Amino acid sequence: MKIIDYELFQVPPRWLFLKITTDEGIVGWGEPVIEGKAATVKAAVHEFMQQLMGENPLNIEDHWNMMYRSSFYRGGPILMSAISGIDQALWDIKGKYYNAPVHELMGGACRHSMKVYSWIGGDRPIDTSNAAKKAYENGFSAIKMNATEELQYIDSFDKIESVVERVAGIREAVGNNLGIGIDFHGRVHRPMAKVLAKELEQFNPMFIEEPVLSENIEAIREMSQTTSIPIALGERLYSRWDFKPILESGYVDVIQPDLSHAGGITECKKIISMAEAYDVGAAPHCPLGPIALASCLQVDATCHNSFIQEQSLGIHYNKGSDILDYIKNKEVFEFDNGYVKIPKGPGLGVEIDEDLVRKMAEKGHDWHNPVWRHKDGSIAEW
């Protein structure tokens, strides 16, 4: 079997899909994208695919090493996201070739379903508490929310109080049965992160995510020593080599590799297995589309330390197009009491609606994250 063709589809709301075709008629789908840099990743995919044309798609490990190791300059969000989507598509082909779900080719499943959480939004306490209550009533036992607006290195305490009020409202609305992930989003610098974490401890969050940017490992160390809240990060780390110092530090409790950013199925399986050796949990990052989510679930199925999965159904980014729109077998992502079953279909287990993909690719997108500034005009972390 040989790779004979590939196509890329930039589709709303902010996704990039890859279709790889073989001479035996088997096709595989991947999702190579960095949010806000889809066109840049697309160019990188074109460069990598030139080296894969005519090759046997089943030799995934060799292809991964070729793409990564043959590049003198390697790693980073763009190159690794391109590799990620190609890797996902190759695994999809391999599963279809053997008529088995990907997880069966990776040792088999250690679970039949995966716990998922629901994103909630809202700027006022009543908004977040109502959103959390709705998620809880819909069967979710965990939610995630953005913690705060932009914060200066040292900022006013009223911004901290607004976060506390929203989290308090959630606890009052649904009690302690709901896990609350609080995403600092890298918006908070070291001085204010300590203050915010201290104020949030009383609500027993499930975790705080990116309390500081992951490159500030010395600040992560300080956070781990001053709070009892589990610390999660990893969406902006792109390989096992990026995760290695984080895991060796012992400062992080939950890693969040993104299967469309951190080398795809091949690499993220290795990253999560590395974390297991350090007794660290995994909650893969996935505010993306159906191919990325299906890839996550295939890896989650094989990893004992994966304990919860992000998913983007209904997230604010997805206005106009959502993850179920692009697949025919919509039941594959049917949530039941906060869990989703591991897909059992061949390959990734999702049937892409190619006609709709082609139609929406004509519309395309040019999504970019907003640029935030502080009152003094300086750039704020988004």
Known catalytic residues?
Answer: 185, 285
Give dist(CA 53, CA 350) in Å, integer.
24
Beta strands 309-310 and 335-336 are unpaired
Helix 264-277 vs helix 240-249: crossing angle, to nearest 10: 10
Q: How far is CA 193 from the centre of its chain?
A: 23
Q: Which positions ≥6 away from 200 have C-beta within 8 Å?
A: 163, 164, 167, 182, 208, 229
Under DSSP, the state recorded for 276 is H
**Under DSSP, is residue 380 helix (H, G, I), strand (E, B) or coil?**
strand
Residue 358 carries which side chain, given as an amino acid letter?
R
Q: How far is CA 222 from the centre of its chain?
A: 26
**Under DSSP, is residue 46 helix (H, G, I), strand (E, B) or coil?**
helix
**Helical ranges in 201-352 per DSSP H:** 217-226, 240-249, 264-277, 290-300
Residue for token pair 């040989």: 2
**Under DSSP, is residue 33 helix (H, G, I), strand (E, B) or coil?**
coil
Give dist(CA 84, CA 106) in Å, integer.
17
The region, left, alpha or beta by phi > 0 then psi within -120 to 50, assigned to residue 250 is left
Q: Is 249 exposed, middle or buried (0-12, 13-18, 19+ CB in 10 A)?
A: middle
Residue 6 carries which side chain, given as an amino acid letter?
Y
Max Cα separation, the chain? 63
If one counts every other C-beta atom within 10 angstroms of the C-beta of residue 343, the result is 22
Give dist(CA 217, CA 118) in Å, integer.
28
